[in-house]
Amino acid sequence: MQGDRLSRRSVLTITAGCALTSVGVAATGGPGGDEPTETDAGISRDSFPIMAGTDRETTVYAAVADADGPTVVVVGGVHGNEVAGYVAANEIADWTIDAGTLVTIPEANAVAVERGTRTDDEGVDLNRQFPEGDDPETALARAIWDVVSEYDPDVVVDLHESTGIYAGDPVDGVGQAVFHSEGDDAAETAADATEYATQNYVDEPEYAFQTGSFSGPENDPQGLLVHKAARELGADAFLVETLSTDVDLETRVQWQTVLTEQLTGDELFPEDEPDNGHAPGDPDEPEVPDEPDGDDPDEPDAPDENEPDDPESPIATIRTIPEDADELALEPGQTVDLDGSCSSVPDGEIGRYEWGVGGNGCFDETGETITVTIGANGSHSVVLRVVDDSGRTGTESITLSAGRNREP
């Protein structure tokens, strides 16, 4: 890590009022007061809002230890349907650190978190709004970047989830992986963190964690927060992805927290092994609302079928017109009507129907029915996600293909 910048950064965050004024926000103190609070021996805690007074308002938390050390920024909730990321980030905001500065933005995209969706109410994917070499493209992205650049962190960790496991091809999913910025230090840190998490917190071999490098500046996906932090601020940056399907929330939160501990431990816990309540085999049980399915094409993935384990969750059903269209060799230009009205809820009512078309990881159409036009070049993966009035979800997926793309 870049140790030559530690003193400047620690002093910067200790004088939080000056730093926050320069980004257009005011210090509000700890969760219950107007002044910075001393809630732990040797740690000064502070919090402040960004986008104050708007529906996008969210809170930034800063913890500064008495002992000098690097600055770490942890972000969660960039995508509102990746629940483990923002639950873990909320836990991390309360960490007791031994040295340095910990800045946390647990629910970066408050609108998306409230809606339980990847994008906000205008369909904007926040994690595509941070172009390298240019200003962020939305007001929220600019406010987040103002905080990150003001603290000038040594390490940035962004917490996400994916519906598929990473196997070298991000199109199939990026779960159970830590993607890292360039440089031997970041690569070694990611490798050590994933090895530790796998050995101590993973029981099934298929859930072993892997590492991968960030995509290049000219390659997709572009506009990611961690890419900009690494390449413009020189931070060691990490994108953490856990599998959101078929794994309980408590375990995923445990994975996210343990990985963050290992990625930042040398900075925040220089003398002791970090211990923030997640012993191997003993995950915490955070209280959170019922979660939507995660889908995250950051180092991108595709929607994947997630049949709910909860017997009270909705059962998604897709009916096609023509009938059984997913088994037919369709013609280019042919339209297929998809009907989700036969979906059911054992206990409650369906609140909304969400459709993902094309395998891009996004649910960007709503309604009981949609129409898909078959293209000449390739197959169309379609996922229906139904959400009941309690926030529980169920999904079903089918694939529609033109005749010459249909496998025998």
DSSP-derived secondary structure for 347-393: SS-EEEEEEEESSSS---EESSEEEEEPPSSSEEEEEEEEEETTS-E
* Residue 11, φ and ψ in degrees, nearest 5: -65, -40
Q: Residue 143: pLDDT above 80?
A: yes
- Determine the average pLDDT of the residues in 266-295: 56
Q: What percent of the chain has pLDDT over 90?
A: 51
pLDDT at 147: 98
pLDDT at 392: 80
pLDDT at 366: 85
Instruction: Provide the H-helix boundaries in 152-224.
Output: 184-201
pLDDT in tens, 25-40: 333 333 333 444 545 5
Grade residue 311 by pLDDT with cuts at 50, 70 and 90: low
pLDDT at 294: 44
Lowest-confidence pick of 52-56, 113-117, 151-155, 346-350? 346-350
- Determine the average pLDDT of the residues in 282-289: 46
Give yes or no on whether 3-268 and 319-405 have one common fold: no
**Is omega for the bond preceding 322 within 30 degrees of 0, making it cis?**
yes
Grade residue 345 by pLDDT with cuts at 50, 70 and 90: confident
Q: Residue 299: pLDDT above 70?
A: no
Lowest-confidence pick of 51-55, 58-62, 209-213, 370-374? 370-374
- Give the CA radius of gyration of the chain: 22
Q: Which residue has the higher pLDDT, 291 or 246?
A: 246
Grade residue 390 by pLDDT with cuts at 50, 70 and 90: confident
Return the CATH number of the domain spanning residue range 319-405. Answer: 2.60.40.10
Q: Is 21 exposed, middle or buried (0-12, 13-18, 19+ CB in 10 A)?
A: exposed
How is the chain split into domains, by residue range? 3-268, 319-405
- Determine the average pLDDT of the residues in 253-270: 91
Q: Residue 155: pLDDT above 90?
A: yes
pLDDT at 351: 87
Q: Residue 231: pLDDT above 50?
A: yes
- Determine the average pLDDT of the residues in 178-200: 94
> In whole angstroms, what is the distance from residue 238 CA to residue 156 CA?
6
Q: Residue 274: pLDDT above 80?
A: no
Q: Residue 400: pLDDT above 60?
A: yes
> In whole angstroms, what is the distance from residue 306 CA to residue 398 CA?
12
Handedness of CA 292, 298, 303, 304 (dihedral sign): negative
Handedness of CA 240, 244, 246, 252 (dihedral sign): positive
Highest mean predicted confidence (pLDDT) among 18-27, 34-43, 146-155, 347-356: 146-155
pLDDT at 372: 84
- Determine the average pLDDT of the residues in 155-183: 88
Q: Which residue has the higher pLDDT, 246 or 72?
A: 72
pLDDT in tens, 110-120: 999 999 999 99
Provide CB contacts within 8 A for 287, sequence distance 6+. none
> What type of residue sits at position 26?
A
Instruction: Provide the H-helix boundaries in 202-295.
Output: 225-233, 249-268
Grade residue 93 by pLDDT with cuts at 50, 70 and 90: very high
pLDDT at 405: 32
pLDDT at 136: 96
Lowest-confidence pick of 57-71, 147-161, 289-303, 391-405? 289-303
pTM confidence score: 0.65
Q: Residue 287: pLDDT above 50?
A: no
Return the CATH number of the domain spanning residue range 3-268. Answer: 3.40.630.10
Beta strands of 13-85 (E only): which ranges? 37-40, 43-50, 58-65, 71-75
Q: Residue 61: pLDDT above 70?
A: yes
Q: Residue 286: pLDDT above 70?
A: no
Lowest-confidence pick of 55-59, 68-72, 345-349? 345-349
Averaged confidence pLDDT in the chain: 80
Contact yes or no for 85/244 (Cβ under 8 A)? no
